[in-house]
Structure 1
Amino acid sequence: MKRLLALLILASSAMAAHAQTPDSLAGSVAVTSRDGHAVTLGDIVNAAADADVVFLGEIHDDSLGHVVQLHILRALHERYGGARGVVLGMEMFETDVQGVLDEYASGVIREQDMTAASRPWPNYARDYRPLVEFSITNGIPVVGTNAPKRYVSLVSREGSVDALDALSPEARATMPAPVAPPSELLATKFTALMGDMGSHGAIPGMPSVDGMLAAQNLRDATMAQAMVDAMAQAGEQPLAVHVNGSFHSAGGLGIPEHVRRLASQARILVVTMAPASGAVPEMGTDDFVVLTGAQ
């Protein structure tokens, strides 16, 4: 009861800060379908009927986007949770802290102990805690999907996933083995992005573009493996919802590609969210684009 009360208070505060409630979000977001039509958040929920994995790609500091995520997660649970069950995967937690998340979800440890041990992101309390608390309150498994940062850093510095061979079997088990390479499309997109940012690996002490791409791909592959494993454990045809930075799933590249390698029949729905005041995501490549703060 205390956890539920805390969740309600936090969710109310977050929505009040934006003068929003789930019922009025349509007035502050603009949703566009792949074919360019203006639609609603409800259309995203309807489309999930034909999906196995729903990717909610975000800009990490877009607080209104996180309110939208909670609204979508709640709606998906209400619509599909009874018949299929829902699983929440989060880039914001790494695979090696799954035991901590499970202990918290089962009530064995306190929230303060969970946050001390699970290395949550700085904006966890404001932006991600509502998702976690809603999930736990409603029996939705919360899965940490990201590769441990220390190993991502190792691959970035060394320039190859071969660097993981030096790890112990226990450490190696936190990531897929082998790690499938990135697609040519993803590699091209990533290299162009790094070039636009002026990152060419020429700065002393900085990883090369190849190293950064290998690290990015390790994250993508690990998040995909964690979600596919969680779905297998969740019963028959669960609906998996995955929250991640938009680059990891936009255009169906990155994590979705690895999911398809692992589960070729998986039906994937990609939603990309971003503030309307920033760089607008490319239209026509994702199933839905949600612009927050739209008027």
Structure 2
Amino acid sequence: MQSKERILSRLISYALLGTLLLTGGCQYNQRPESAALIEPASQVEAHPLRGKIIALADGKQISPEELFKQLRNHRFILIGEKHDNPEHHQRELQLLQALQNGSNTRLVLEMLDEQQGESLARLSSMSSESEIKTLLNWNDRNWPWQDYGPLISAALREGNQLKAGNLSKPVLMQIYQTGLPDQPRLATVSTIPQTIRATIQQQVYESHCRTIPFEQMGPMTDIQLSRDASMAYALNHQLGEQMQAILITGAFHARKDTGIPQHLRKLTTEPVVSILLTETDDSIKTAAEAISSNAETADYIWFTSRSEEKDYCAPLQQQSHKQDS
């Protein structure tokens, strides 16, 4: 059987690939205009749902402008992406630009961890791209700047409050090796029902392409739950009364049935709105089929073009073979 140290090394070295596979009241904003529609860079597809936005509560198809109007009335907005789909980053910027309300907007990014968060106060609307990347010690390999830099720059330019949502590698290692640290931002982990935990553990197992034995996935499930708890805490902690908090994260984190909303419910009574940016799928071609497949996962589904097909399991399996040899 493999040692914990070897498993932990694998966890840190390809955790991002596992994440890629998982990806998957009052008026808080007064801005009347909507952001200009951004055309996706990918080729036009013939799929009937491509570009469509479905409100799952009533099954209606709505326009981007109507979506923006509805979102302005909500305090917590979660946007779930597939990390390597270029159109998803365009839609996120479109959503942010439509909802921004100066210092009354908090933008939380999964792509920033608490160590980077310590440097956010040193950034301003005058910070250059190179200054931002240097201060944040930006990891372009895991999170390409071309994908997330525009979001950070737009938030700084408009005077939004930037917050780090994720956990740093030292904290992830601590959770894996010795369990959850006693920190306020992780307090909701213990409140998650066992049924949801079991679902997450199965998803984490699949996301790592079954390269690690299922019975050894407990600590990695703790990590997934802890990341959700951390992002929920970053959204809610000391949020001003008139502020709206927007999160950019992987789709699995944004799911209402298993992800961050489960933690936010323990922190606030405010409703949480989840938007899943979803690639078109030949098995789902009608709004009714979309609703049936996603009824418990989100409030809105925004269908996009598909990104380049990749075999995410290949690097994980290759790494597993190297570790075992």
With the length of structure 2 as denominator, give the TM-score of the two structures: 0.68
More helix by share: 1
Residue 189 of structure 1: which of 195, 199, 212 is its match? 199
Distance 1:291 1:28 in 2: 5
**What RMSD in Å do the two structures reach over aligned CA positions?**
3.2
SS in 2 for 1:69: helix
Residue 291 of structure 1 corresponds to 303
The CA deviation at 1:37 is 2.7
Distance 2:283 2:110 in 1: 22
In structure 2, relative to structure 1, the CA distance for the partners of 1:136 and 1:258 (3 Å cut) is: same
Residue 32 of structure 1: which of 51, 54, 59 is its match? 54
Within a 5 Å distance, the mapping from 1:238-277 to structure 2 comes to 238-263=243-268, 265-276=269-280
Q: Mind listing any 5+ residue stretches in structure 2 that lack a counterpart?
A: 1-35, 285-289, 307-325
Distance 2:118 2:41 in 1: 33
Do residues 126 (structure 1) and 146 (structure 2) align? yes
The residue identity in structure 1 corresponding to 2:252 is: F
Distance 1:176 1:103 in 2: 26
Q: Deviations over 1:219-241 (max 9, x none)?
A: 1111111111151xxx3231111
The CA deviation at 1:49 is 3.4
Q: Deviations over 1:129-185 (max 9, x none)?
A: 111111111111111111112211331344x31xx36xxxxxx68x44575343334
The residue identity in structure 1 corresponding to 2:130 is: Q
In structure 2, relative to structure 1, the CA distance for the partners of 1:178 and 1:248 (3 Å cut) is: closer
Within a 5 Å distance, the mapping from 1:105-124 to structure 2 comes to 105=124, 107=126, 110-122=128-140, 123-124=143-144
In structure 2, relative to structure 1, the CA distance for the partners of 1:116 and 1:277 (3 Å cut) is: farther
Residue 232 of structure 2: which of 204, 224, 228 is its match? 224
The CA deviation at 1:69 is 0.7
Q: Deviations over 1:186-207 (max 9, x none)?
A: 313212324545538439xxx9
Distance 2:78 2:242 in 1: 16
Do residues 202 (structure 1) and 225 (structure 2) align? no
State which drifts further: 187-196 or 130-139. Answer: 187-196
The CA deviation at 1:15 is 5.9
SS in 2 for 1:88: strand
Distance 1:112 1:262 in 2: 36
Q: Mind listing any 5+ residue stretches in structure 1 that lack a counterpart?
A: 1-11, 21-26, 166-171
